[in-house]
Amino acid sequence: MRRLLPRIKAAVETARQAGENQLAPDVADAFFQDYDRLVGLGLTVNPAKPPDPAYPRRKPAQTPVRNLLERLRDYRQEVLRFMTDFQVPFDNNQGERDIRMTKLKQKIAGGFRTLAGAADFVTIRSYLSTARKNGISFLKALADALAGKPFYPAACVGS
């Protein structure tokens, strides 16, 4: 799996650079088959723990590896969404970066003094993050907002 996912990512990037908005069906099917084969192999090598005879109705706790494999099996579409929808990023690094400053400020400053202050901080961070993702510079976005002409993403204009 450690080798398969980067191969899929590379195929998606190649297709995207070629102007495609999806992988060729035979390529995508081959990746799905490889994914299913690897997850199945992992589940075979890491069998589920049997129920405790003293508590037959209680589902036994599984190993972390088994839990991961079951999630990979049960959430295949979500795990591989980046392969079927080129708008979805391969990882969630941007999402983590978006919340990191809030968590850092909360930790360093000992938390926000008021709920309203926290809400204002998050609103400003969200606005600046959205502007940056749409190619608007940090300073321009702030200047426009303070001048009463805030940036609105195209999908939100007129709503």
Cβ neighbours of residue 137 closer than 8 Å, sequence gap 6 or more: 131
101: pLDDT strictly greater than 80: no
pLDDT at 68 over 90: yes
- Compute the half-sphere exposure of residue 88: CA atoms within 13 Å on the CB side of its CA: 12
Which pLDDT does position 60 carry in this prediction?
Answer: 87
Write the DSSP symbol of residue 137: -
Q: Which pairs with CB-CB distance under 8 Å and at least 24 residues apart come from 142-151?
A: 151/127
pLDDT band at 41; cut points 50, 70, 90: very high
**Domain locations in the chain?**
4-84, 93-156
Angle subtended by helix axes 93-108 and 115-133, to nearest 10: 150
**Is it the case that residue 64 has pLDDT exceeding 60?**
yes
Structure confidence at residue 158 (pLDDT): 47
Asked whether the whole model's pTM tops 0.75, one would answer no
> Region 101-126: what's the mean pLDDT?
68
Crossing angle of helices 115-133 and 138-146, in 10° steps, is 120
**Mean pLDDT for the stretch of residues 108-124:** 71
pLDDT at 94 over 80: no
CA distance 56 to 59: 8
% of residues, the chain, pLDDT over 90: 46
Q: What is the pLDDT of residue 99?
A: 64
Q: Which residue has the higher pLDDT, 29 or 141?
A: 29
Average pLDDT along the chain: 85
Question: Tell me, what amino acid is at 66?
Answer: R
Write down the pLDDT at residue 17.
94
pLDDT for 71:
96
Alpha-carbon distance 117 to 55, whole Å? 50
Six-digit token string for 5: 């996912």
Please name the residues in contact with 28: beta carbons below 8 A apart, sequence gap of 6 or more.
22, 83, 84
Number of neighbours of residue 73 by Cβ within 10 angstroms: 15
**Tokens 């999806």 -> residue:** 22
Task: State residue 87's pLDDT score.
Answer: 86
